[in-house]
Amino acid sequence: MAGNSFGQLYRITTFGESHGGGVGVVVDGCPPGIEITEEEIQKELDRRKPGQSKITTPRKEADKIKILSGYFEGKTTGTPILLIAHNEEFESDDYLELKEAYRPSHADFTYEQKYGFRDWRGSGRASARETLARVAAAAIAKKYLKEKLDIEFLSYVEQVGNIKASVDFNSVTASDIESNIIRCPDQKVAEKMIELVDSVRKDGDSIGGIVQGVIRNVPAGLGEPVFDKISADLGKAMLSINAVKGFDIGLGFRSVGMRGSEHNDTFEIRDGEIRTKKNDAGGTYGGITSGEAIHFRVVFKPVSTIKKEQDTVSRKKEAIKLSAAGRHDPCVLPRAVPIVDAMGALVIMDHYLRHRAQNT
């Protein structure tokens, strides 16, 4: 089965390419009766779209979303939903030099090995433009989960290069995150991050970093104990995002140097409920949610397409020099934040529906 679908009960299948006619998604298994508008979905897409600021790609796309099925009188009908955003502003000629060249650390080579040829215009299906489909599908899930369970998704930029923010994920707010163009709630550190990204951009280079994912008010009991652990599905979801090279949940890799007596979390009764004191495990035990906030980190590498001249090879197996044209993000972190939120929402939505089907 081709890897264009995600989820079991709340299942999405994305389609489209960066420089094709458009990008979209089919959402199957969506509960009927969810009140949603194109404007609400658009609000989520506007956080992801290109051309937001001086530190993102200058490509100008409205990402105007249209609901073409599974929707009537302002509500979901329970039948498959088709969402699509047509591509309007692309310059394929900028990519002509890439027709014969393999960009270092890019999917150009591996796509051609898999399919025998590739769409070199704007990276085709390998482009992060595909992620707008995920954000659109997740907008419906986010509204449902907010109204049904008061679940919130509050990802933010924690680190760019070696610049790290000091933020308590328990107290961060959406307004804190959206208060600057880098989407870091630590305002002083955000200014330094923006300066760094802008400097990297002017140098024709790119830089990576870390997005902290936070999901609040998730009920206890979601997830499966073996292969479909919440942590495992979140890991798969995040690692499916372009440029992601790492994922950990709770203390993750930071727990390596700890002893069990340090890492173990004590249970306590709080507000009449069984809770944990520290939540160092990231809101899951044995792959099942504990009722605490889920928190995890997603590592993004520097974007591989840069203007700096690099050594590479051509399809003819000749050594060449490449300075990539086109319009690319010097740092994907600001636009990746809503994508991390979206993938988290898709996982929680799917597992909530599965839990409800099994236990009611």
User: What are 281-332's pLDDT values in tens digits?
Assistant: 999 999 999 999 999 999 999 998 888 888 988 888 889 888 877 667 899 9
User: What are 235-261's pLDDT values in tens digits?
Assistant: 999 999 999 999 999 999 999 999 999
Q: Model's pTM, two decimal places?
A: 0.93
Q: Which CATH class is domain 5-359?
A: alpha beta
Higher pLDDT, 117 or 47: 47
The answer to whether the CB of 10 falls within 8 A of the CB of 27 is yes
SS3 label, residue 108: helix
Q: Residue 225 pLDDT more than 80?
A: yes
Q: Residue 6 pLDDT more than 60?
A: yes
Q: What is the signed CA dihedral for 33, 36, 38, 41, rounded to 10 degrees?
A: -120
E strands present in the chain: 5-6, 11-16, 22-28, 65-69, 71-72, 75-76, 81-86, 152-153, 156-160, 163-164, 209-216, 244-249, 267-270, 273-276, 284-285, 288-289, 294-300, 310-313, 319-322
Residue 89: the pLDDT is 66
Bridge partners (DSSP) of residue 35 are 75
Bridge partners (DSSP) of residue 216 are 152
Question: What is the chain's alpha carbon radius of gyration, rounded to the nearest angstrom?
Answer: 21
Residue 87: the pLDDT is 86
- In the chain, domain spans: 5-359
Q: Residue 335 pLDDT more than 80?
A: yes
